[in-house]
């Protein structure tokens, strides 16, 4: 995916330097790409032409701050 320019390269997470704590930003980018690809596959199974109203929900794990949860959803539509 990096070779094709679909996701960026690995980057250092400098949030700790400026006083922000964050889960690795490049992990968000990779998770978003994978989730969108999965959504497209599921829409193809329904023979949909597009997905409208796509939204995302990101939740941080507040117990260990070691992972996050990403949900992407939308409405699959078929043009008539």
The string of pLDDT tens digits covering residues 33-58 is 888 899 999 999 999 999 999 998 88
pLDDT at 18 (0 to 100): 46
- Contact, 11 vs 26, CB < 8 A? yes
Per mean pLDDT, which range of 14-23, 40-49, 59-68 is the poorest? 14-23
pLDDT at 9 (0 to 100): 60
Residues 6+ apart with CB under 8 A from 21: 15, 65
* 3-23 average pLDDT score: 54
Q: Binning pLDDT at 50, 70 and 90, where does residue 80 land? A: confident
């Amino acid at each position: 995916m990096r070779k094709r320019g679909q996701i960026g390269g690995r980057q250092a997470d400098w949030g700790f330097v400026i006083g922000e704590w964050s889960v690795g930003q490049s992990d968000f980018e990779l998770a978003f790409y994978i989730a969108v690809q999965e959504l497209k596959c599921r829409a193809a199974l329904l023979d949909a032409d597009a997905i409208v109203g796509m939204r995302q929900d990101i939740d941080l794990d507040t117990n260990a701050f070691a992972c996050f949860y990403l949900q992407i959803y939308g409405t699959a539509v078929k043009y008539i």
